[in-house]
Structure 1
Amino acid sequence: MCPKWSKLSKNHKEKKSALILVICSSAHRTLELIKLINAFKGDTKIMKLFAKHIKIKDQMQLLLEKNIVHLGIGTPGRIKALIEQEGLSLQSLKYIVLDWNWRDQKLRRMVDIPEVKKEMVELLDSGVIAACRGVL
């Protein structure tokens, strides 16, 4: 999925910035994905980016203190809030992954849940796509 991942991840030194953002519909789904990825992650540093059980200020502090984050996985609302409050930088962002086909218990995808759809569109519109293209 990510050409030259090993080179990208080795050269990534910037704090508060992820190389890949994975956008999920809920905190529960974020945790599921992190558990699945842990078996394959190798040296990749992962950070969960959602609002459940952690205040935004605390999460911003973790992003600043944590050595490096290669993969940020979270909900669109929290990711957008972190970007707006300058707790998460888009400077190193290379890829966006939308957890598009996963369905919840009611068989809804991300775009079928009005709140998530709205937050996702706002997040993508806030400069995330431009950051991946290297326009910012």
Structure 2
Amino acid sequence: MDAEVTLPDVDTSTLFSKVPFNRLLGMRREFCEAGQARMVLETRAELTNNFHATHGGVIMTLLDVVMSSAALSKSGFQRAVVTIDMSTSFLKPGRGRLTAYGTAVGGGRSVCFCEARIEDEAGDIVAKAMGTFKYVRP
């Protein structure tokens, strides 16, 4: 007779706060639930490029983190994710307070497809992204 294997309950809702890079950048998670996430970043001088706009690498990180958070919440915080693919479009320089919105738009048991956008304080879109995230065991 085969014994049933029971995995312990997992809660990946706190993974965001455990990533030192997220703290270094100063990202704040404002919302993360049911496949939706929202992050905020206050741009400061050390996060800017030669044009005094938020560095593109910081923008991409914010997009990646908000999409991965949306994917985590879609799983009910029972799995972790790793980024498989990400495509980014930069639309205008990002300055000041930036808000990122992420949405899990599809997928299945093993992958999650997400979309994200970053808006500046005026509500203008700074950048957009699409990403594919693989669910993994925490």
Shorter-chain TM-score bucket reads: under 0.3
**RCO higher in structure (CA 8 A, sep ≥6):** 1
Flag the structure with higher helix content: 1
TM-score, normalised with respect to structure 1: 0.26
Looking at secondary structure, tell me which structure has more strand per residue: 2
